[in-house]
Structure 1
Amino acid sequence: MSSDDLRMKRKIQKLGSSTLAVTLPAEWAREQGLEKGDELVVQRDESSGSLLVVPDTPAETEATATIDVASLDPESVRRAILAQYVLGRQLIEVESDGPIGPPIFEAITETERRLMGLGVVEEGIDTVAIRCSVDPGDFELPTLMDRLWRTEATMRSEAVEALLSSDTDLAERAIGRQRQVEKLFYLFLRLVFTTYRNPRLNESVGLETGFPLIGYRSVAQDVVLMAGAARDLADDVIDAGGVALDAETQELLTEVATALEDAATATRQAVTNPTTTATSEGREALATFASHADRAQEHLESARPEPLLALQRILLALRRSADHAEDSLDVATHFAFHSTGAVETNGV
């Protein structure tokens, strides 16, 4: 597809005394099955800078996707199925010009297990049909985001406790939660993309029109990255066979972990209720975390407790988690400015 197919200029026309109109690209209208008299949904994005135009009833062809795996390796098959799931396909048909080999079939079934609501409904020698049973009305995005936050927080808490108590079994439990984080994230993305293409779904997923979907998608990505940092922390505990901390090191790392929990909680509250007060509290919590992390770093450099390398990696993982929380707080700050009218723009 060329850039000309994606970007087309349209001249504004005046209809009557006060109505402005633009024409629709004929090819796009044909692809959507639109005819004279059909209705479109027009929605502004969260910054009111652009408009989204979609058919009132999306074309049925968007519900089905076909993946030809004849020339794909297993990892490419996984990515292709994941992409179609996120895009909201209800039926994904996997086809090949010959028998589907065990590595490709294993990639199909492994991806099916990673995604919520996805299941193989038909299997042949050269075809596999996968259906998604998730309907946008089955979940509300704010509730799903809350589940994602809580799962990451539990995972991080278990990883930290595994460190402080030298419990490798608890570290393994924390690692096991990462798959649930990914399931929730990909389901969240599926609902975001489905709702973005069909704004009439806003109410069914628990949103008001104009909900800042792109910003919340960014926050969800930050939560997944925080879960990845918790995974790295737990891996370090396991690799070290448990970490026996001296009293001072344990006290300093406990302070760092507590400050990170406070910062994550403040960030979550700022995203949920974006006000300038909430975002300021989030900044203060992050500053407190940075102070404790710096103190812990100074201790590691001066006292050099063992296992030093593992402890440095652990502290780095905690800092990375705070960095991702700060990215989410930036999104909350954007929300707060727009919701309070703190930012005004004038045409030049």
Structure 2
Amino acid sequence: MAGVVTGDDVRITRKVQQLGSSTLAVTLPAEWAREHEVEKGDSVVVQRDESSGSLLVVPDRTLVEDAETTVDASGLDADALGRAVVAQYVLGRRLVHVVDDGPIAPAHRDAVLDAERGLMGVGIVEETTEAMTLRCSIAADDFELPTLLGRLDRTETTMRDDALAAFLDGDAERARAVEQRHAQVDKLFYLLLRVLFATYRNPDLNRAVGVDTGFPLIGYRSVAQDVVLMADAATDLAALTGEPIPATAREHLTGLEDAIDDAADAARNAVVDPSYADVTRAREALDRARNRTDAANESLERERPEPLLRLQRAVCALSGDTRHVRDTLDVATRLTFRDGSGATPE
């Protein structure tokens, strides 16, 4: 039976056939079957994507193709080359060869070295005048996604706590430590994306990484991005560090941060281990954070303490976190009621 192929075999149309009284079937493209070494009698995994309802079909075994790739540096500027290396890491490549038409430019070499330092488990294993090879020693099933998200969570929370302490006390050294810690957040984020992508392509990895395919994977991606954005906000807050803040202006900021910490902790817990109690706790903490933000802004408007501009920016940086926590809470709520808590989502 012929299929309709468009583009580079990205979209292939197949007619649905009826087998027996109640069974429908479609054929697998011959080229795809050869590429994945699928033969008569083999099993395939058919996984439903909850976000779209589409079906993902993969061999019932871990795929190992595309473990090696080459990035052509010619025609790319240094920033683009660095992003290309990071992208290949996320896509699960074990070996990435960077080549050029001639000697690799110093800026290109620096970009590859920066990418190496910013990616967990990556090292340069070979370098010549015209090529560099990076190898990743990490396999997707080396880590569980809940563990990775927990590490990302704790690093971001520490950044926010230290950023506020540095801002309040005028501690420049502590502020610099916050900025430096962002590199660890980026490493964990890219590693989490690598594991997510591998699991999406290989549903058989679900048990190894501790998360179902479908919406949970999409949810973890969304939550991880929110954590990175909150780490960005912590870096922005740390950058506001100057003279110590007067005691009269501290109460609103510390109360706001406490509410954000509580909301983020509850929401992220409910993503890893769906719980109606944590969803409720996160909602209540977000309400407190909103009230604290309003009170802080009203106080600044009424009393106009010094340094007013830095205080306003600090409130803005912290209150912006509540939007990201609310996005995480949306994921947690869907996961909680997806698992069946017997309650009705608000």
Residue number among 115, 129, 138 corresponding to 2:119 in the alignment: 115
The residue aligned with 1:284 is 284
Residue number among 147, 151, 166 corresponding to 2:151 in the alignment: 147
The residue aligned with 2:297 is 297
- CA shift, 1:250, in A, is 1.0
Q: 1:60 to 1:235 in 2, by over 3 A?
A: same
Q: Which amino acid aligns with 1:78?
A: G
2:310 is the alignment partner of 1:310: yes
Q: 1:300 to 1:154 in 2, by over 3 A?
A: same
In 1, Cα distance between the equivalents of 2:108 and 2:99? 11
The residue aligned with 1:8 is 12
Q: 1:266 to 1:343 in 2, by over 3 A?
A: closer
Unpaired runs of at least 5, structure 2: none
Instruction: List per-residue Cα deviations over 1:37-93 (Å, max 9, x = no partner).
Output: 443222223458222111234664411111011111100101100110001011111
2:218 is the alignment partner of 1:214: yes
Q: Which amino acid aligns with 1:284?
A: E
- CA shift, 1:219, in A, is 0.6
In 2, Cα distance between the equivalents of 1:25 and 1:269? 42
In 1, Cα distance between the equivalents of 2:7 and 2:164? 49
The residue aligned with 1:22 is 26
Residue number among 124, 129, 132 corresponding to 1:128 in the alignment: 132
Q: How does 1:191-202 map to 2 (within 5 A)?
A: 191-202=195-206
8 Å Cα contact 2:63-2:202 kept in structure 1: no
8 Å Cα contact 1:32-1:58 kept in structure 2: no
2:217 is the alignment partner of 1:227: no
**Count of aligned pairs between the two proteins:** 340
The residue aligned with 1:75 is 79
The residue aligned with 1:138 is 142
- CA shift, 1:181, in A, is 0.6
Residue number among 181, 197, 202 corresponding to 1:177 in the alignment: 181
In 2, Cα distance between the equivalents of 1:80 and 1:224? 20
- CA shift, 1:190, in A, is 0.2
Q: Which amino acid aligns with 2:155?
A: T
Instruction: List per-residue Cα deviations over 1:214-265 (Å, max 9, x = no partner).
Output: 111111111111111101000111xxxx243222211121111111112112
Residue number among 96, 100, 113 corresponding to 2:100 in the alignment: 96
Q: 1:10 to 1:191 in 2, by over 3 A?
A: same
- CA shift, 1:180, in A, is 0.3
- CA shift, 1:33, in A, is 4.1
2:193 is the alignment partner of 1:189: yes
8 Å Cα contact 1:33-1:59 kept in structure 2: no
Instruction: List per-residue Cα deviations over 1:283-333 (Å, max 9, x = no partner).
Output: 111011010111101111122222222211111110111111111001111
Unpaired runs of at least 5, structure 1: none
In 1, Cα distance between the equivalents of 2:266 and 2:213? 26
Percent identity between the two aligned chains: 54
Normalising by structure 1, we get a TM-score of 0.91
Q: 1:57 to 1:96 in 2, by over 3 A?
A: farther
The residue aligned with 1:52 is 56
Q: 1:64 to 1:318 in 2, by over 3 A?
A: same
Helix, strand or coil at the partner of 1:286: helix
